[in-house]
């Protein structure tokens, strides 16, 4: 098992070819040149507990997988933790540039189990990005003790922890330890193009209120 993990991490860090990840030039062309030029990227989220949420015409998955691609282009291993009632469609994710072979996916029974798995992954020091898809429901909240451990580990290992939730913008966040909370919404333009807007509701570093808009031509099933 240890040898298999070592091989996986070597591949995820780029020692082996990341065949499905687009080059940075391709990504910049696809994303209108904004990659690495805004505060919504892996570099800006390192060491932080982030909540990405929305309700209605959401684009949380699209926005979260943007971060996954950003991490993979920097040869950072990524883990995606999901509950039993939540999932993504792998072909759509691969089409958006994610290397599925370099993505750890962990399915758990509840939010507490997902958080504990995230803690173990963070303690390894191997992962630059952890995404926890909490879905919706009050039972999917994380206690302050859990959030505190996640923040401490994220800071210690220079990693970003992003929690996906389904809630309106006027609903309370996961807790006071969330460093940045944003909502991701989508709107369809001409020729099937998708406009994704990330609106920041809380940011302990820059202050709330800033937005980041992205044009996407990704699969319709990834929202």
Question: Over the stretch 87-111, which tens digit does the pLDDT of each residue have?
Answer: 788 898 998 889 999 999 999 999 9
pLDDT, tens only, 105-146: 999 999 999 999 999 999 999 999 999 999 766 667 899 999
Encode burial over 157-195: b for 16+ CB neighbours within 10 A, e otherwise: bebbbbbbbbbeeeeebbeebbbbbbbbbbeeeeeeebe
Q: Any idea what DSSP says for residue 146?
A: H
pLDDT class of 17 with cuts at 50, 70, 90: very low
Strands 49-54 and 160-166: parallel
Are the C-beta atoms of 138 and 113 separated by less than 8 Å?
no
Q: What's the rounded Cα separation, in Å, for the pair 179 and 151?
A: 9
The dihedral over CA atoms of 159, 198, 131, 60, expressed in degrees to the nearest 10, equals -170
Closest alpha carbon to 101 in 11, 195, 199: 11
**Which of 3.40.250.10, 1.20.1260.10, 3.40.50.300, 1.10.8.50 is the CATH number of 2-168+176-216?**
3.40.50.300
Instruction: List beta partners, residue 139.
Output: none
Least confident of 50-59, 95-104, 176-185: 50-59
């Amino acid at each position: 098992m240890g040898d298999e993990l070592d091989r996986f991490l070597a591949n995820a860090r780029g020692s082996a070819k990341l065949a499905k990840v687009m080059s940075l030039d391709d990504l910049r062309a696809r994303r209108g040149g904004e990659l690495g030029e805004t505060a919504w990227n892996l570099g800006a989220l390192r060491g932080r507990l982030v909540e990405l949420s929305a309700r209605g015409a959401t684009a949380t998955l699209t926005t979260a997988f943007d971060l996954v691609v950003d991490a993979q282009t920097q040869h950072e291993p990524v883990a995606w933790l999901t509950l039993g009632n939540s999932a993504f469609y792998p072909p759509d994710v691969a089409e958006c540039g994610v290397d599925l072979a370099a993505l750890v996916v962990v399915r758990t029974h509840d939010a507490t189990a997902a958080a504990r798995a995230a803690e173990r992954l963070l303690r390894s020091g191997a992962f630059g990005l952890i995404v926890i898809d909490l879905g919706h429901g009050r039972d999917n909240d994380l206690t302050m003790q859990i959030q505190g451990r996640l923040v401490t580990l994220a800071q210690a290992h220079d990693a970003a922890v992003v929690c996906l939730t389904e809630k309106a913008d006027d609903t309370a966040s996961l807790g006071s330890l969330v460093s940045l909370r944003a909502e991701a919404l989508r709107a369809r333009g001409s020729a099937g193009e998708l406009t994704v807007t990330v609106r920041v509701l809380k940011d302990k570093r820059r202050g709330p209120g800033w937005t980041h808009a992205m044009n996407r031509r990704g699969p319709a099933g990834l929202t």
